[in-house]
Structure 1
Amino acid sequence: MGDARKGPPTFYERVYALVCAIPPGRVMTYGQVALELGAPAAARAVGYALAWLPPGTEVPWWRVVNARGGISLRGRGEEAELQRRLLEDEGVVFDREGRLDLRRYRWFPSDGG
């Protein structure tokens, strides 16, 4: 994702690379992505990075959820519904409160797959 002529990858590029590694049917939280990238206080920046993705991107942004296992697209009904639908298509199950079980679906890069 980075270009050797530009120097090291930006934080956003590193977010995208990590999110691309999340297997289908698994998720990470915004804070977890930030922590894995060595920036534990940057959960909000992870959200901003994903919000900047263009429509039709190949980065599976829908695999990043909030710390409660919920979808964090306040005020964006259609996008929130899309995220839930994409996760459900990958086999993720939500409870009545609209949350998924992080103990079941959370992915850690050390897991491999």
Structure 2
Amino acid sequence: MAWVVLVVSGLLEAVWATALNASQGFTRLWPSVVFGVSLVLSMGGLAFALRTVALGTGYAVWVAIGVVGTALVGAFLFGEGFSAAKAACLALIVAGVVGLKLLH
């Protein structure tokens, strides 16, 4: 159960990072609300998961899901561009986290 919560929390990290960008410095109400709610849920889920998942592995998984998710949202929804080099870098992040999980 902790791993499911951790993955959902990582996805919520991508949500709050995207909402933070969309809030334009907290000048837009609904993106700011989405930011706050998703941030609290993401951190709460991380805290729950870390009760049973090792800190280093759990935090790395949470951050990696957020990083990869946010990078993909930026590339495909906000036109930040996507290249083979970016894909390779994101794959390296995923590979590193998979390695940590396997060694856990």
TM-score (norm 1): 0.27
Q: Which has the larger radius of gyration?
A: 2
Pick the structure with more helix per residue.
2
Greater RCO structure (CA 8 Å; 6+ sep): 2
